């Protein structure tokens, strides 16, 4: 049984190993140096402090997480979501995404955005099943365009990436 809760400081040290393990699933889709990166603890600490970091727990052990960054005051962006592969394909990722979407809507945001791999079967199609739609380059706010440029500078091919948004319904 899994639970989704807002992260606190006691969860933070468990997140980098989850992120690195999940990244191995993307071998061949992202440069090796990107696959070896993980979110700095101070970034996760700030996200937790502002209740923009969720963890999936098996008992009291973190096995996945979702991290939202604010690209603008009115633009939450799902920066990272990872589930340890040993716990994959059990609905944990879905539960994390649904928790973040619910948070975004309850907080009054119009939408929640993300960037992901276009061709990886558990990326774009997964988010589409959860209600995310692809945004065309013309629909991107400056903050989202900057996010795409930042990812490209890190070595992620923009042609292999997609920007998606979940729209909150009033």
Structure tokens, 23: 């990244």
Q: Does the structure show a pLDDT above 80 at 129?
A: yes
Model confidence at 84, pLDDT cuts 50, 70, 90, reads: very high
Q: Per CATH, the architecture of 2-167 is what?
A: 3-Layer(aba) Sandwich (3.40)
pTM: predicted TM-score of the whole model, two decimal places? 0.96
- The rounded distance, in Å, linking the Cα atoms of 41 and 95 is 23
Over residues 51-71, the pLDDT tens digits come to 999 999 999 999 999 999 999
- The rounded distance, in Å, linking the Cα atoms of 77 and 138 is 18
The predicted structure's pLDDT at residue 1: 82
Q: Is 28 helix (H, G, I), strand (E, B) or coil?
A: coil
CA angle 74, 145, 96 (to 5 degrees): 55
Contact 28, 119 (CB under 8 A): no
């Amino acid at each position: 049984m899994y639970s989704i809760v807002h992260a606190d400081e006691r969860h933070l040290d468990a997140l980098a190993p989850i992120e690195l393990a999940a990244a191995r699933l993307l071998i061949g889709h992202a440069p090796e140096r990107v696959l070896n990166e993980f979110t700095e603890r101070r970034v996760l600490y700030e996200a937790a402090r502002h209740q923009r970091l969720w963890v999936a727990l098996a008992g009291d052990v973190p096995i996945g997480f979702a991290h939202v960054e604010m690209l603008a005051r009115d633009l939450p962006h799902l920066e990272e979501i990872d589930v340890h592969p040993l716990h994959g394909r059990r609905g944990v990722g879905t539960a994390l995404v649904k928790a973040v979407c619910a948070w975004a809507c309850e907080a009054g945001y119009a939408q929640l955005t993300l960037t992901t791999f276009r061709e990886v079967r558990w990326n774009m199609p997964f988010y589409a099943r959860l209600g995310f739609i692809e945004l065309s380059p013309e629909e991107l706010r400056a903050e989202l365009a900057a996010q795409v440029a930042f990812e490209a500078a890190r070595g992620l091919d923009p042609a292999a990436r997609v920007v998606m948004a979940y729209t909150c319904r009033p």
